Structure 1
């Protein structure tokens, strides 16, 4: 898009590491997208409870120079803050000269950006800024978030709903929504090989967020309407729901629990499914819905947060939050409809969520922020 190749410093509150391998993986995908057009250095600091001295890793991961400092545990909060600040300061020095900072998750990494002399933009994903959850924000986060958003050249929430909620919190700034990335070369459609109607749910399986109990109740009721179907539950520690599954009377032959899957295995499971189901209490964007679209898989989801902003009406069905009757009805309707528009769904994702699309969007903002 531009002949000028910039050096972008990704300054991250969240980022995948050996301690938390999936933490902020969507941020990593943003960094990898930007790296197709610019030089990117991603930095992150995290406490590692299993070490006795600090360690810094310096690796090239998918085209991104990745600097992560692992800090030994520190019980005193004051020392912990000093250690984190010192570690970030050293990583910034290791990164070398750069053109612009790209903050990911504005608090606390944005505080470090405020102390630098370079312009910065900030991307935000945090569900904690949504109305029902923002009551839990600390005074310090509210205070510094206002400072950070005011100073940033651009604030880039992943949905308009998140932008609206951030503005309600008084986080004023120059907003530009840029969604999350879908790897459209990894997530692509193919014809279904299974004749059994297959539903899949992929998430952290956190019940307070993803409403797994609600999904299981609906799966139990689905047995009364559809005799032959399969439900695949993908996510960490699904065994925590075994007792609930037995109590509800869900037939074991209809259920497959995979545990947590490597990211590159998820498309395989999506492609052999007919629909993805999501029944969350809240979401800012939902990467997995767009990954399903890219695989040509239709979606039945609760209508929460920013989901409907990127949800064409012929790609599935949205139902009211917590409405189990509507959720069940939508699943049955999708089975009867059996509508397949694989390539249309994939092309939609290329247009709005591909690496090229997202890299182009960020490049425009980088150049504007630098007044180039």
Structure 2
């Protein structure tokens, strides 16, 4: 079975955050499963460009085949990709399109019809109400011109029941299947059992031994609600004056506003914006904390929450994070309203009882191991792809 991914950016373009890792993990797992996976993308990585050969398929260590085209901007606009896309897709059994609002999307949809190929779209939360309201006129026009004419052809890969509702709020008759993002649990297996808070000394400039460490992670964008988190942290100083908050992530236009808040609340020695972290440093950042907190206004899934849980960290998340209901079923974290008072109370609840926080972390880890192992998710997706091909071959309505 040949599955061709089309995406404006691809690993190691970590500038774009969670979707890069989830798409990469999925493509690798499907390759290990024996599928012929080919990724058609660009070398976009924010303001930088990936140092990769362009215009040819290259294999990574897992035999995953990737073709990077030269991008003209940070959005993955590539003339060479568009010029060669028809030839690249001819051999596909299924086209798997990552993103709704991206430069390759219109042509990919058109070619899926011209080449008579089934098409799966992974919207990654782009059809959520919060996202649609950002640049709403442009996005409504985009959907009308480029998505709606092909809607009967599209299968939607949504990562949670909440995201399924979001897609069907726009397209009531959408063909959807719910399958979460997954992680490679082997990447987390080398983490030590004990926490080492001196790890954070480099970021703070002082010893963090004996401190209560709260962390968060994500691109510094207003959708992530870091302003809510900082406000909550300020409010809990009476209960935990020894607490420290560290936020990791690339600036997406919100850093200066967050710095103003930090100065306004006189938290310069309490709150630290540490920049983007990758690899082992990222995992240690999550593992060694007492609490991970996420106050996003919208997360269709919440990959970083799964990563924090896999690192053995207890979490506080809002009901705006797509996986909150499943996490509640495992009693694997504190779920709160998306406001500073809710976040504050959730953090205090965890920090106030060492055994309670250990129990939550253990439940959260079990939740990840049972629900988000990418190997199991890839097995399910192979069956879904087979069913889509069967449905496609049996249907003449497209």
TM-score of the pair, normalised by structure 1: 0.84
Deviation of 1:233 (Å)? 1.3
Deviation of 1:344 (Å)? 4.0
Gap regions ≥5 residues in structure 2: 198-209, 392-398
- Matching residue of 1:66: 66
Deviation of 1:357 (Å)? 1.6
CA contact (8 A) 1:45 1:88 kept: no
Alignment CA distance shift 1:131-1:165 (3 Å): same
- Matching residue of 1:118: 117
Would you say 1:35 and 2:31 are equivalent positions? Answer: yes
- Matching residue of 1:273: 289
The aligned runs of 1:190-339 (5 Å cut-off) are 190-194=193-197, 195-206=210-221, 208-237=222-251, 240=256, 241-252=258-269, 254-312=270-328, 314-321=331-338, 323-338=339-354, 339=356
Deviations 1:233-262 (A, max 9, x none): 11124863333212211151x334321011
Alignment CA distance shift 1:343-1:59 (3 Å): farther
CA contact (8 A) 1:44 1:88 kept: no
- Residue from 342, 366, 384 that aligns with 1:365: 384
Question: Larger RCO: Structure 1 or Structure 2 (Cα < 8 Å, ≥ 6 residues apart)?
Answer: 1
CA contact (8 A) 1:319 1:326 kept: yes
State the alpha-carbon separation in 2 of the partners of residues 19 and 350 from structure 1.
Answer: 24
- Larger CA deviation: 113-122 vs 42-51: 42-51
CA contact (8 A) 1:55 1:69 kept: yes
CA RMSD of aligned residues (A): 2.9
- Residue from 90, 94, 97 that aligns with 1:100: 94
Gap regions ≥5 residues in structure 1: 1-5, 74-79
Deviations 1:277-314 (A, max 9, x none): 11111111110111111122111112115232331352
- Matching residue of 1:9: 4
Alignment CA distance shift 1:23-1:325 (3 Å): closer
Equivalent position SS for 2:234: helix
CA contact (8 A) 2:69 2:80 kept: no
CA contact (8 A) 1:149 1:171 kept: no
Alignment CA distance shift 1:293-1:305 (3 Å): closer
- Matching residue of 2:396: none
State the alpha-carbon separation in 2 of the partners of residues 184 and 296 from structure 1.
Answer: 12
State the alpha-carbon separation in 2 of the partners of residues 363 and 122 from structure 1.
Answer: 16
- Matching residue of 1:145: 147
State the alpha-carbon separation in 1 of the partners of residues 347 and 40 from structure 2.
Answer: 43
State the alpha-carbon separation in 2 of the partners of residues 20 and 57 from structure 1.
Answer: 23
Deviations 1:75-130 (A, max 9, x none): xxxxx89765313224336xxx333222222451434433322323332213x311
State the alpha-carbon separation in 2 of the partners of residues 286 and 16 from structure 1.
Answer: 18
CA contact (8 A) 1:15 1:28 kept: yes
